[in-house]
Amino acid sequence: MAVLGAVVLLVGLGVSAASLAQAAGGTGPITGYQGLCLDDRSASTANFNPVQVYTCNGTNAQQWTVASNSTLQVLGMCLDVAGAGTANGTLVDLYACNGTAAQVWQPQSNGALLNPNSGKCLDDTGFGGSGTQVQIWSCAGSSNQTWTLPSSGGGGTGGFVVSSAQFSQMFPNRNSFYTYTGLVTALSKYPGFATTGSSTVQKQEAAAFLANVDHETGGLVYINEIDQSGNYCAAESYGCPAGTYAYYGRGPLQISWNFNYEAAGNALGVDLLDNPNLVSTNAAVSWETALWYWMTDTGPGTMTGHNAMVNGAGFGQTIWAINGSIECNGGNTAEMQDRVNDYEAFAAILGVSPGSNLTC
């Protein structure tokens, strides 16, 4: 395995019926600026209790339900504009659900949440960090007014636990080759990925996989390994028909070596031994090779990345599966820590705890 070291204006503040239909019935974290979660401070059910942005932790204080009447509910209470205020800077808190316009929130196409009573948007006050109480403010299309709601389908397209918006948040500078659609299409090859175990485990697995992808590709920037001079042609009976130096790292997990291309191709039903460039030219195939490795190959480790996450072994074991002692057991600890940092950040975006056993 090779290792690599715009504002959208609201039109008439309209809301899409499709976006409301998708959101209604969903329960889970609402994420905003810097991947922080909308949070019921101290998990209180008292009227006027502050609602803040806070480090995502998977607790019930961050599990919001998008109700069919366009309210956002947590612990049986509703997100409410204090005193039905309409001025910039009016605080947003919790209050007993009462069906008033102060508790209506309409998702906008740019990720904003509009309170139609005030004509203002839910706003992370001053682009604040963890612990900042939210407010309403004139809708500006800014990042501190962009929120990702849980959907009734469990997150993203086809029930994938990562939504398109969260994927973009994880990879803001990604190469256009690496599409969210390509990833979702590839999921059909391995239906057990990010669907096994509890909702927490599913999100942890998705975060772990994407964190390793982030590390391998520099944030989904690189499709091909930068240094392509390495000889990844092992002495196998099928040889290296594409050329001795043709099996360098490609794709989200930068698969390399002729034996990996041969095995992945056999599993996926494509001839990657003769045509390794399919991994760098076909987005679905590219994602499929990464999922193939994650789901089926232990690499230099003792278990697959998938098994490490669904059986509770922890993120550290996924690093073993991908790069072994090169990074683990005191190898390159800086590279190992970069993977851990990515995982913790992605788990926060998905609103789950990263769990234990993070290093190797």
Rounded-to-integer distance, Cα 253 and Cα 188, Å = 18
Rounded-to-integer distance, Cα 268 and Cα 263, Å = 9
Active site residue 288: no
Instruction: Give, in degrees to the nearest 5, the angle at Cα 231 between 228 and 234.
Output: 140
Q: Give which of 32, 210, 199 is closest to 130, Cα–Cα.
A: 32
Which of 205, 216, 262, 288 is catalytic? The answer is 216
Q: Is 153 exposed, middle or buried (0-12, 13-18, 19+ CB in 10 A)?
A: middle
Among all residues, which ones are annotated catalytic?
Answer: 216
